[in-house]
Protein backbone atom coordinates (compact mmCIF):
# COMPACT_ATOMS: atom_id res chain seq x y z
CA UNK A 1 0.00 0.00 0.00
CA UNK A 2 1.44 3.45 -0.93
CA UNK A 3 2.52 5.67 1.92
CA UNK A 4 2.89 9.42 2.29
CA UNK A 5 6.51 8.84 3.27
CA UNK A 6 7.23 7.00 0.01
CA UNK A 7 6.06 9.81 -2.30
CA UNK A 8 8.59 11.36 -4.66
CA UNK A 9 10.44 14.37 -3.26
CA UNK A 10 8.95 16.82 -5.77
CA UNK A 11 5.44 15.65 -4.82
CA UNK A 12 6.18 16.11 -1.12
CA UNK A 13 7.59 19.58 -1.75
CA UNK A 14 4.43 20.52 -3.64
CA UNK A 15 2.27 19.28 -0.76
CA UNK A 16 4.40 21.08 1.83
CA UNK A 17 4.23 24.30 -0.18
CA UNK A 18 0.51 24.43 0.63
CA UNK A 19 1.38 24.26 4.34
CA UNK A 20 3.81 27.18 4.34
CA UNK A 21 1.54 29.26 6.60
CA UNK A 22 0.52 26.26 8.75
CA UNK A 23 3.55 26.30 11.03
CA UNK A 24 2.07 23.97 13.68
CA UNK A 25 1.57 21.31 11.00
CA UNK A 26 5.12 21.75 9.70
CA UNK A 27 6.45 21.49 13.27
CA UNK A 28 4.61 18.18 13.69
CA UNK A 29 5.84 16.79 10.35
CA UNK A 30 9.49 17.81 10.79
CA UNK A 31 10.49 15.27 13.47
CA UNK A 32 8.59 12.32 11.96
CA UNK A 33 11.57 11.21 9.90
CA UNK A 34 14.84 12.63 8.65
CA UNK A 35 13.44 13.17 5.15
CA UNK A 36 10.53 15.26 6.45
CA UNK A 37 12.92 17.22 8.65
CA UNK A 38 15.05 18.19 5.67
CA UNK A 39 12.07 19.03 3.45
CA UNK A 40 10.07 21.01 6.03
CA UNK A 41 13.10 23.06 7.09
CA UNK A 42 12.98 25.25 3.98
CA UNK A 43 9.32 26.08 4.61
CA UNK A 44 9.77 26.70 8.33
CA UNK A 45 12.70 29.07 7.83
CA UNK A 46 11.48 30.91 4.72
CA UNK A 47 9.41 33.41 6.75
CA UNK A 48 11.37 33.61 9.96
CA UNK A 49 13.59 36.51 8.91
CA UNK A 50 10.78 39.06 9.02
CA UNK A 51 9.32 38.00 12.38
CA UNK A 52 12.37 37.72 14.61
CA UNK A 53 13.33 40.93 16.38
CA UNK A 54 15.19 42.06 19.47
CA UNK A 55 17.38 39.67 21.39
CA UNK A 56 16.01 36.66 19.49
CA UNK A 57 17.60 38.11 16.38
CA UNK A 58 21.03 37.37 17.84
CA UNK A 59 20.02 33.73 18.47
CA UNK A 60 18.77 33.42 14.91
CA UNK A 61 21.98 34.91 13.52
CA UNK A 62 24.08 32.49 15.59
CA UNK A 63 22.03 29.54 14.32
CA UNK A 64 22.44 30.71 10.74
CA UNK A 65 26.19 31.12 11.22
CA UNK A 66 26.46 27.60 12.65
CA UNK A 67 24.27 26.00 9.96
CA UNK A 68 25.17 27.65 6.68
CA UNK A 69 22.57 25.69 4.68
CA UNK A 70 19.80 27.52 6.57
CA UNK A 71 20.98 30.96 5.39
CA UNK A 72 19.71 30.35 1.87
CA UNK A 73 16.25 29.53 3.25
CA UNK A 74 15.71 32.76 5.19
- Output the DSSP codes for 7-67: S-HHHHHHHHHTTTT-HHHHHHHTTT-HHHHHHHHHHHHTTGGGT--THHHHHHHHHHHH-
pLDDT of 50 higher than 70:
no
Q: What is the pLDDT of residue 73?
A: 66
- The domain in which residue 67 lies consists of 4-71
pLDDT of residue 1: 63
Question: Based on the structure, what is the number of domains in the chain?
Answer: 1
Please compute the mean of the pLDDT values over residues 1-22 and round it to a whole number: 85
**pLDDT, mean over the chain:** 79
Q: What is the pTM of this model?
A: 0.61
Is the model's pLDDT at 35 over the cut of 80?
yes
Amino acid sequence: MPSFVNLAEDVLIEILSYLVYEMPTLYVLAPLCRRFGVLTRRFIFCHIGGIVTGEKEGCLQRSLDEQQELKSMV
